[in-house]
Chains A and B, each alone.
Chain A
Amino acid sequence: METGTLKKKSGGTAGRHLVDLLPFLALAVLFALFCAIVKGKGYRLDIYLKTIFNQGVVLAVVATGAIFIYTLGSFDISLGASTLFAATMGVLTYNATESLPLMLLAIFGTAIACSLFSSALASAFHIPAFVTTVAMLSVLSAVSAQIITTRGGSLGGIGIPKPVVKPLDNPPFKIALLAAFFLLCFFVFQLTKAGRRQKFIGGNLVCARLTGISYNKYAILAFTMAGIGVGLGAFLTLVYTPSVTATTASGIGMSIFVAIVFGGMPISGGARSRIHAALVGGFSYILLNNILELVLEGGSAYGLTQIVSAVFFLAVVYVTSMNYRTALLPR
């Protein structure tokens, strides 16, 4: 939530529109830069683009679902662990039944159940939602690790036969899935009363409650949408790599923060929340990391990549939030 008084609102409407467009411009620039670097180095662009897409699509779907939670002014750091757990359950179900529909049912059922459990725990016992997600992070990671190490043996992972998901491992299918989920989220977020009320809650919870809006009802909706995103993410993870290890999707939970902010949405949620933020920001983040890895080749490239990426992240957030500086230090 915004704290303190606004120091100034400079630039007017045109300036704000420009700031709103910055994430899209950044994505376009990063994409052009990436293509130029790959071509310049003489690598095959189609293969690199496919890799970028496969990395970005999982982050984009999980983060798009998570937007609903962030809009409420809350956040969930267990989404990566939920993705791992849902994928693990999917693998176990397929190996037990050899049925793809049942695997899908297990993945989505687990993902939505985990998400709703966090929400229900927070709502029923008045615990800050963030704390329940910390607990869920520990529990889901630990349970998944236990299952994977017990059943994976020396292989260090469990999986399903590659031919099962091979027909689905193609860009058109994944684009269709991403588009369908995005449109669903767009509809709920932009065109329904529920979406508007979620922004109201995120902007000012007290006012929202005083006007009769139930926080718990919209928190359940938000966590359900996040659960669907997690389920899709887990499914797409299995489609791309039909096996899971204890570290699968481990970075997603925190990368969502970066992706959402890169996409031009404040982590505090509220009226400035944007449903496209995760999609734009997720692909921007993946593109930036890959550009840096291409440019900074060498033994310590990963470290340097992360440093430059973090500096760029802070710079982007600083520029995009220039109109919203407060006199007091933000909290």
Chain B
Amino acid sequence: MSTAKKVTGTLAIPLLTALVLECICVMNGNHVITNLKSFNNFVVYTAIVMITTMALSINLNSGRFDFSLGSIAALSAVTGAKISYAMLHGASGSAPVMLLITVLAGALLGLVSGLIYVALRLPPIITSLGVTLIFEGVLYTFTGGKYVMAEVQNASMSGFVGTWVNAAILIVVILLAMILIFDHTTFGYNYNALKNGQKVAVNTGIREVPNAVLCYVICGALMGVVGFLNAARNTNINGGQLNFGSISIMFTAFLPMFIGTYISRFSSDKLGFLLAAVCMSLLNSTFAVFSNAITASVQSIINAVLLVVFLIYLNNEQLLVGTFMNRGQKVKA
């Protein structure tokens, strides 16, 4: 594939999305990004979507369905918030300390989830159901089912998401780390081998169990970052998410995951996830512009329709291309 085609293919969807959404906003006398505050929100939301999508894709691409991502994000964030508040009482430096603890807590929860999976040797969809219920139960017991607010409402936290710089740093660091880990290490090579041919990979001597556990640890750490960013952005953490109330977070990552996978045909899948997150964030910013007219329910419907439409295209691409080419040839003839 030529470089020009790669660049065009990689940037086509985000540029087209930006163009269409900007046109819609301009027609209504507005812009997608109206000021510095909306730009800050745009970058923070991009970070949240990109990291969630990466966490979802690590296990899902390996055939492991993981419902526990949302519960890990919430429980690790509550752990980070409680410990950092006990240490600093919301003083300066609370945000970086909470981020660090939340990532560690997320990694630990991911480790627990992974160990349960490899120890029980049950289908991951079943273990993740159990793990989700356990983590939600711990979260509820820990918080009494209430919102955690005082611990995350301080100048340090609001300052962290009050500027786009911190979120941008997180995006760059995590993107580079993911590229390094999954594309340039023995772990990454083994992961890709197991992903594409589990039985053959195991027969060639690749140790599947440590690889799977490490995948869960990385997912947990990533969801820790998501939990922190959500806590800072929403200024609270919902501690009462019982009966699978936490799983909706993973559904928000489906569309960017499929878009990212499509973009990866022309570049890397990690870059694809970033660009897909940019698209979702642009859409989110447009929703914010029309917040008076577009309710949360309508936003959900639009997102679901986009998911289905994109998948219809993705799964019928050859058919559509063939149909258009045939029509073109008929017109020429």
Query: Chain A residues in contact with chain B, CB under 8 A?
Result: 3-4, 121, 125-128, 131-132, 134-139, 141-143, 145-146, 250-251, 253-255, 257-258, 261, 266-268, 299-300, 302-307, 309-311, 313-314, 317-318, 321, 325-326, 328-331
| 21 A-B contacts (beta carbon < 8 Å) | A4-B199, A125-B315, A126-B316, A128-B311, A131-B308, A138-B300, A139-B301, A141-B300, A254-B129, A257-B125, A267-B125, A267-B126, A300-B140, A303-B142, A305-B137, A306-B136, A306-B243, A311-B130, A314-B116, A318-B120, A318-B122
A309 adjacent to B133 (CB under 8 Å)? yes
Does B307 have its Cβ within 8 Å of any Cβ on chain A?
yes
Provide the bound-state CA to CA distance between A126 and B320, in Å.
13
Provide the bound-state CA to CA distance between A165 and B137, in Å.
36
A134 adjacent to B121 (CB under 8 Å)? no
A139 adjacent to B140 (CB under 8 Å)? no
- Residue picked from B124, B127, B296, B304, most chain A C-beta under 10 Å: B304
A258 adjacent to B129 (CB under 8 Å)? yes
Q: Kindly list chain A residues whose C-beta atoms are within 8 Å of the C-beta of B120.
A: 314, 317-318
Q: Number of B interface residues, CB 8 Å?
A: 57
- Residue picked from A3, A268, A317, most chain B C-beta under 10 Å: A317
Chain A, Cβ-Cβ closest to B258: A131
A306 adjacent to B308 (CB under 8 Å)? no
B199 adjacent to A303 (CB under 8 Å)? no
5 closest A-B pairs (Cβ-Cβ)? A303-B140, A310-B133, A331-B63, A303-B141, A306-B137
In the complex, what's the smallest C-beta–C-beta distance from A73 to chain B, in angstroms?
11
In the complex, what's the smallest C-beta–C-beta distance from B129 to chain A, in angstroms?
6
Provide the bound-state CA to CA distance between A146 and B141, in Å.
32
Q: Kindly list chain A residues whose C-beta atoms are within 8 Å of the C-beta of B284.
A: none
Known: A261-B129, A304-B141, A314-B127. 17 other contacts (CB 8 A): A125-B316, A131-B307, A132-B308, A134-B307, A138-B251, A139-B304, A143-B297, A257-B129, A305-B137, A310-B130, A317-B122, A318-B120, A325-B121, A328-B198, A328-B199, A329-B121, A329-B208
Provide the bound-state CA to CA distance between A23 and B300, in Å.
39
Q: Kindly list chain A residues whose C-beta atoms are within 8 Å of the C-beta of B124.
A: 330-331
B303 adjacent to A138 (CB under 8 Å)? yes
- Given A125-B312, A267-B125, CB of A251 within 8 Å of CB of B305: no
Q: Kindly list chain A residues whose C-beta atoms are within 8 Å of the C-beta of B254.
A: 131, 134
Chain B, Cβ-Cβ closest to A310: B133
B62 adjacent to A306 (CB under 8 Å)? no
Name the interface residues of B102-134: CB closer than 8 Å to any CB of A.
Answer: 116-118, 120-127, 129-134
- Given A307-B141, A329-B118, CB of A146 within 8 Å of CB of B130: no
A330 adjacent to B122 (CB under 8 Å)? yes
Q: Kindly list chain A residues whose C-beta atoms are within 8 Å of the C-beta of B316.
A: 125-126
Does B164 have its Cβ within 8 Å of any Cβ on chain A?
no
- Given A267-B126, A328-B202, CB of A138 within 8 Å of CB of B304: yes
Q: Kindly list chain A residues whose C-beta atoms are within 8 Å of the C-beta of B117.
A: 329
Q: Kindly list chain B residues whose C-beta atoms are within 8 Å of the C-beta of A128.
A: 311
Provide the bound-state CA to CA distance between A210 and B63, in Å.
24
Chain A, Cβ-Cβ closest to B130: A314
Give B289-331 as 1s and 0s: 1 = Cβ < 8 Å from A's Cβ atoms. 0000001111011011101100110011000000000000000
Q: Kindly list chain B residues whose C-beta atoms are within 8 Å of the C-beta of A138.
A: 251, 300-301, 303-304
B311 adjacent to A125 (CB under 8 Å)? yes
In the complex, what's the smallest C-beta–C-beta distance from A186 to chain B, in angstroms?
25
A135 adjacent to B134 (CB under 8 Å)? no
Does B159 have its Cβ within 8 Å of any Cβ on chain A?
no
Chain B, Cβ-Cβ closest to A137: B251
A4 adjacent to B198 (CB under 8 Å)? yes
B144 adjacent to A299 (CB under 8 Å)? yes
Partner among B122, B125, B139, B244 whose Cβ is within 8 Å of the Cβ of A303? B139
B312 adjacent to A127 (CB under 8 Å)? yes
Q: Kindly list chain A residues whose C-beta atoms are within 8 Å of the C-beta of B6.
A: none
Name the interface residues of B80-95: CB closer than 8 Å to any CB of A.
Answer: none
B304 adjacent to A251 (CB under 8 Å)? no
Does B149 have its Cβ within 8 Å of any Cβ on chain A?
no
Provide the bound-state CA to CA distance between A121 and B309, in Å.
10
Partner among B121, B144, B242, B298 whose Cβ is within 8 Å of the Cβ of A330? B121
Does B209 have its Cβ within 8 Å of any Cβ on chain A?
yes
In the complex, what's the smallest C-beta–C-beta distance from A6 to chain B, in angstroms?
12
Provide the bound-state CA to CA distance between A282 and B134, in Å.
19
A255 adjacent to B308 (CB under 8 Å)? no
Q: Kindly list chain B residues whose C-beta atoms are within 8 Å of the C-beta of A127.
A: 308, 311-312, 315
Chain B, Cβ-Cβ closest to A255: B243
- Given A309-B133, A317-B122, CB of A139 within 8 Å of CB of B199: no
Provide the bound-state CA to CA distance between A314 and B122, in Å.
9
Partner among B132, B212, B301 whose Cβ is within 8 Å of the Cβ of A143? B301
- Given A127-B311, A131-B307, A143-B297, CB of A331 within 8 Å of CB of B62: yes
Does B247 have its Cβ within 8 Å of any Cβ on chain A?
yes
Name the interface residues of B121-180: CB closer than 8 Å to any CB of A.
Answer: 121-127, 129-134, 136-142, 144-145
Give B37-76 as 1s and 0s: 1 = Cβ < 8 Å from A's Cβ atoms. 0000000000000000000000000111001000000000
In the complex, what's the smallest C-beta–C-beta distance from B246 to chain A, in angstroms?
11
Partner among B133, B137, B209 whose Cβ is within 8 Å of the Cβ of A329? B209
B311 adjacent to A131 (CB under 8 Å)? yes
In the complex, what's the smallest C-beta–C-beta distance from A4 to chain B, in angstroms?
7
Provide the bound-state CA to CA distance between A142 and B298, in Å.
7
Q: Kindly list chain B residues whose C-beta atoms are within 8 Å of the C-beta of A302.
A: 137, 140, 145, 242
Q: Kindly list chain B residues whose C-beta atoms are within 8 Å of the C-beta of A135.
A: 304-305, 307-308
A142 adjacent to B243 (CB under 8 Å)? no
In the complex, what's the smallest C-beta–C-beta distance from B221 to chain A, in angstroms?
21
Q: Kindly list chain A residues whose C-beta atoms are within 8 Å of the C-beta of B212.
A: 329
- Given A306-B243, A307-B138, CB of A330 within 8 Å of CB of B307: no
B307 adjacent to A331 (CB under 8 Å)? no
